[in-house]
Structure 1
């Protein structure tokens, strides 16, 4: 029986939820107070059709919030007209500069506005891991760091089974490379078979943790595989995510030992949440990170009367209202000698 751990890290400005199974993280949820609520997965809103393209079979919808506009595929039998008010639900959050994907609920009246927000992090955790106790405090802060580090890695090495796994995304697809490092005294054929099976499991977990969708090409070890067995193992691995399982399209296993499938987009990919268009962490991400570090220090040692965080002046401006919400034991000092993204914590 697998061991599941659930963590909820709530801090000023951001809430994170993490789920780990057998010591490996598989879910990282992030919601920020600055996020547009009309773009959150599951949100319902009244939107207004700005553009309808019968050739594209879709409409662009103003949701009343921040750009980009929503994207709504529509059936040829039910075309929409420009200016029409409709009720929609977000089925996929924005990614790669694309707006949220929408599902048509029906006609509506009035100006664009949010009707019902998407689920909170706590609600999603309860749905994905029902009945599992939720850990908070220091353990949750540490889990937040660990899950982010694991999600941003390009793969991992699992020494106990000799599995060397690489998971990378390009503009066209997600490439998964499963490799095997022979272990002394172990049957090589059985080892490769186990590495392929567990490689699919961990590839699915890492892709889920990174919050990716799109075409996936899995390069298995060797050739001449039993296609039915590989397909069943892939379905068990990738279908473990209840949010996407019904919409996964499984492709063939080719003669080169490459298995293909297509995953639906649901949440904004982690790199889009943390980074700007230049691929670097945004000022908000850096600020939330140093506030989390101060909060961790406060929670770790309750005997220290007051802790003051020294950070770069530009980040101190963003951090000041967040640090104030940590309570009287938290202080902030702009320090030109501290590099952006860094912080020093001192006892007052």
Structure 2
């Protein structure tokens, strides 16, 4: 049996790809139907230079669709003018209020427009786990829900290593706190080394699962650590794209990761940190789809939800077929849904 599992959850409104290695989720790719195709990683467009910012040595590019303009870093040798058409590729998806980061391919012609969409979720999975056929249906939906729960969590426990890990994102950086509870009868020094090593592995996995990047500060276990050994562990855990910084005398490791995909919390949550209405609509559609797959005998299943959720999810649920329906419950609390026969 392979130690890599791949899942493809194709629910109306959203497609998710999940990769698990050794029983732990490592990648969660989410493509929502309402997201601008021109903003997806790898999408190629003709854009128009709307403004050049000499202070940032960059240009803001109108891609011709909704949402913020693209950000195009410029090298010293590139000379562009406002109004000029360029062909660009998305190198990093939008996050927060920032538009996609672009890579210049060359001169463009005509009006701003999408030339080719980026890779589909299935194609991304093929790159992350070559040769492995994705599981679909019930297994994929369950993996999707479990991976989402872990991606949106901030504190994670690993009892086998007596390890607690907090991974949190601020406006400035990602903060990782590795906590180790020494177990009686074990060597303290080796326990700390093991906790730091496993903590870095799990921190790298969780940051990737969440879709985060940028500056990362890791509070290690203990202050008397071997900087060389810690740097080696970090390179092994985070991979070749990471820039590993020094370890301070306070046991703090700094590193940097390049942005690529839109963070999962940006996709699923609103400004208050709660699931957005769009996310709730897809979620209740996904849960109703799961119930339909598990219960093939009932002639009809419906999901009880609030009026706001029903309005957002009506068209999505209709795509599940004649066995699926919504029922509006005025007393239902947003986020509390129930599937029932009907």
Structure 2 length-normalised TM:
0.97
The residue number in structure 2 matching 1:341 is: 335
Distance 1:339 1:296 in 2: 21
2:276 pairs with one of 256, 271, 282: 282
SS of 1:212's equivalent in the other structure is coil
Distance 2:56 2:189 in 1: 49
Alignment-derived partner of residue 62 in structure 1: 62
> What's the CA shift for 1:55?
2.6
Partner Cα separation in structure 1 for residue 264 and residue 100 of structure 2:
15
Q: 1:2 to 1:136 in 2, by over 3 A?
A: closer
Shift of 1:226: 1.9
SS where residue 224 of structure 1 aligns?
coil
Of 258-267 and 328-337, the range deviating more from structure 2: 328-337
Measured after TM superposition, the shift of residue 10 of structure 1 is 0.4
Deviation at 1:140, TM superposition (A): 0.8
Indicate yes or no: 2:244 matched with 1:250: yes
Q: 312-321 vs 194-203, which deviates more?
A: 312-321
8 Å contact 1:88–1:102 — kept in the other structure?
yes
Partner of 1:301: 295
Residue in 2 that maps onto 1:21: 21
Distance 2:244 2:198 in 1: 18
Aligned residues: 342
Structure 1 CA distance for aligned equivalents of residues 170 and 182 of structure 2: 29
Alignment partners' CA distance in 2, 1:161 and 1:2 = 24
Aligned equivalents of 1:82 and 1:266: distance in 2? Answer: 27
Measured after TM superposition, the shift of residue 133 of structure 1 is 2.9
Q: How does 1:50-129 map to 2 (within 5 A)?
A: 50-129=50-129
Whether the 8 Å CA contact 1:249–1:262 is kept in 2: the answer is yes
- What runs of 5+ residues in structure 2 fail to find an aligned partner? none
Superposition deviation, residue 334 in structure 1: 2.1
State the alpha-carbon separation in 2 of the partners of residues 278 and 101 from structure 1: 25
Measured in 2, the distance between the counterparts of 1:143 and 1:328 equals: 26
Distance 2:199 2:306 in 1: 42
Deviation at 1:132, TM superposition (A): 2.0
CA apart distance, 1:177 = 1.0
| Aligned equivalent of 2:238 | 238
Find the aligned partners of 2:311 and 2:233 in 1 and give their Cα distance: 51
- CA apart distance, 1:2: 7.3
d(CA) in 2 for partners of 1:96, 1:34? 16
1:178-193 pair list within 5 angstroms? 178-193=178-193
Mind listing any 5+ residue stretches in structure 1 that lack a counterpart? Answer: 240-244
After superposition, the CA RMSD in angstroms is: 1.3
> Could you tell me which residue of structure 2 aligns to residue 216 of structure 1?
216
Please state whether the residue corresponding to 2:118 is helix, strand or coil.
coil
- 8 Å contact kept, 1:287–1:341: no
Q: Is the 8 A contact 1:61 1:69 kept in 2?
A: yes
